[in-house]
Structure 1
Amino acid sequence: MSFSLPSRLLRCALLGALLVACSPPGSGQDTATRVQTARTDTTRAARDLGHGLPFVAAADLPREARRTLSLIRAGGPFPYAKDGSTFGNREGILPRRARGYYREYTVPTPGEDDRGARRIVCGGQARSVGECYYTGDHYTSFRRIQP
């Protein structure tokens, strides 16, 4: 069965209209909006699904934080007396665990005279970096570290 050119064009136009009508909401967005939506979807996907905290790759942490992770794996020695002390999770941002589950470690901040605001908090067994979180703002926000 062959169709004439006008009938082919009509069929294509109808098919196109049908596709637009059946497209999911937002699919008619301009390119900039689609790119922004893709970025947002990627950000959502880069979260710990169990707790909603964003992930950060260990390689993307500041150099000092990567050094602190190495010290945690090695079991120390740690430069600050409070390193390895219990983190109480009073802010309630991290997943709820029994008291004593989380330990905190200082991430030195260049130019700071004291411990600064950066920390790594790890849960579980000593020398474990399987469930660790980074905060650069003294417990206001956390990102789960992906090894």
Structure 2
Amino acid sequence: MKKNSVLATLGAVVLAAVAAFYGLDLGTDDAREESQQPSSFVGGIDTCEVATLPDEAEPVIDDILSGGPYEYPGEDGGHFGNYEGLLPAEHSNFYRSYTVDTPGLNHRGPKRIVIGGGTETDPEVWYYSDDHYESFCLIPDAEE
């Protein structure tokens, strides 16, 4: 019985370390839902106005609208394949991805803005993901 307790504790420590490294939130789903209430729901995807996004998202939006420079020039503006199929289906070069910093992490973290269509400085659509593309919300007012 004691060996199982040690293994369970060790497993919990490893899980917490991996979650911290990748910037994952191991909180309850209820807490997550309360912190991410969408403004509305459009075409199967929640919407989230700029004011509801983390403070770190606004400079990224400004950088996109001005054409850079970007915090992660080798990554930001790169192709986003929508392989998960969570965004509307489009041609292969439609979506581009940009990093939204997560305070306290020493790596890019899980937060992204994905834009699609239009031009680099005038995209047709804007999306936000805070869980490395596992879910998205549509940002309807990013260009205002």
For this structure pair, what is the TM-score category when the shorter chain's length is used for normalisation? 0.5 to 0.7
| 1:55 and 1:143 in contact (8 A); partners too | yes
Unmatched runs of 5 consecutive residues or more in structure 1: 1-42
**In structure 2, distance between residues paired with 1:131 and 1:142:** 12
| 1:103 and 1:122 in contact (8 A); partners too | yes
Higher relative contact order (CA 8 A, sep 6+): 2
Equivalent position of 1:53 in the other structure: 45
Per-residue CA distance 1:4-34 (angstroms, 9 max, x = gap): xxxxxxxxxxxxxxxxxxxxxxxxxxxxxxx
Q: Residues 9-28 of structure 1: matches in 2 within 5 Å?
A: none
Unmatched runs of 5 consecutive residues or more in structure 2: 1-36
| 1:69 and 1:129 in contact (8 A); partners too | no
Deviation of the 1:130 alpha carbon: 3.8
Which has the larger helix fraction?
1
Structure with higher Rg: it is 1
Deviation of the 1:74 alpha carbon: 0.6
**In structure 1, distance between residues paired with 2:48 and 2:38:** 13
Query: Cα–Cα, structure 1 residues 113 and 94, in superposed 2: closer, same or farther, change >3 Å?
Result: same
| 1:122 and 1:129 in contact (8 A); partners too | yes
Aligned residues: 103
Query: Cα–Cα, structure 1 residues 44 and 52, in superposed 2: closer, same or farther, change >3 Å?
Result: farther
Runs ≥4 residues deviating over 3 A: none
